[in-house]
Amino acid sequence: MLTESPLVLVVEDEEALADSIRYNLEREGYTVEIAADGRTAVQRFRAAHHDLVLLDLMLPGMSGLDVCRTLRAESIVPIIIVTAKDSEADAVAGLEVGADDYVKKPFSMRELLSRVRANLRRTSLGVAADSDVLESASLRLDIDRHELQVRGLVVELRPKEFDLLEALLRRRGRLATRQILIEDVWGPGYFGDTKTLDVHIKRLRHKIEADPNAPDLIVTVRGLGYKLLDD
Ligand code: CA
C-alpha cells in the first residue's frame, strides 16, 4: 500500500468547481494541483508527473482534447475527462485520443471519487479508499457484505459504528479530525452534540480493542480527533 498520497492534476477553468473538487479529493487523502487552462496543465504535468489527471474538455485556449493527446503521447497517466451534459460525442472523442474514462457534468462528488479510485487502482496507485475490503493488521472490513472481522472473528457493528470504522480505516495512520468524522458519518448538516462521536468511538473500542481502556487501535489525538493505528 502506498503511504504517500496520490497527486492529482485537476484541469478546470471554473473556479468554484475546481475548488469543490479539490476540497473533496483532499478530504480523501489526495494531493491536488489545479490548472485553469490547457497550456498550464501540460507544463504542470511535465514538472510533477501526477498520478492521475482530471481534465475538463471545455477550456480556454488549448482545448482539452489537445491536452489529452499531448499528455497521452508522453505518459500512461490515467486521464479522466469531464464533458458537458449531453455530449456523448465529446466523450467518445476524448476516449479516442487516449482518455481512460469520462464523467458528464453535472456529476456528484461521490461519483467523481469512485471514478478516481477506480482509475488509480488500474495503475495500482490507489489509496486505502480503493477497495471494497479495508484491511489492517487486525481488522478486516468488508464494505459490500457489511461485515467486520477482528483478528479473524466476526464482530457485529451497528450502522453508525460501521460507518465510523470505515471512515477511520480509510484514513489509517492519519489524523481524522472530529469534523471530518462527523461529516462522514452523520452528514455535513449535522449540528448535534459532538459527544455523539465520542460515544460511538467508545463503543467501537469496546468491540475492537484488546483492552478498551488502553486503546492502541483507535488513538485519541488530543484536541483534534482520532487516528487508527494498526500496522
Ligand atoms: Ca470548462
In the predicted model, is pLDDT for residue 125 greater than 50? no
Distance 73 CA to ligand 1 centre (A): 23
Distance 119 CA to ligand 1 centre (A): 21
Mean pLDDT of 170-186: 83
Distance 118 CA to ligand 1 centre (A): 23
In the predicted model, is pLDDT for residue 129 greater than 50? no
pLDDT tier at 3, thresholds 50, 70, 90: very low
pTM (predicted TM-score)? 0.54
pLDDT tier at 123, thresholds 50, 70, 90: low
Distance 47 CA to ligand 1 centre (A): 23
In the predicted model, is pLDDT for residue 96 greater than 90? no
CA pair distance 46, 5, nearest whole angstrom: 19
Distance 13 CA to ligand 1 centre (A): 5
Give pLDDT, residue 131.
54
Domains in the chain (CATH in brackets) are: 7-122 (3.40.50.2300), 133-228 (1.10.10.10)
Reduce the DSSP state of residue 47 to 3 states and report it. helix
Residues shown for the chain: 231
Distance 128 CA to ligand 1 centre (A): 30
Residue 86 burial class via C-beta count within 10 angstroms: exposed 0-12, middle 13-18, buried 19 and up: exposed
Mean pLDDT of 70-98: 86
Distance 124 CA to ligand 1 centre (A): 29
Distance 4 CA to ligand 1 centre (A): 30
CA pair distance 215, 137, nearest whole angstrom: 15
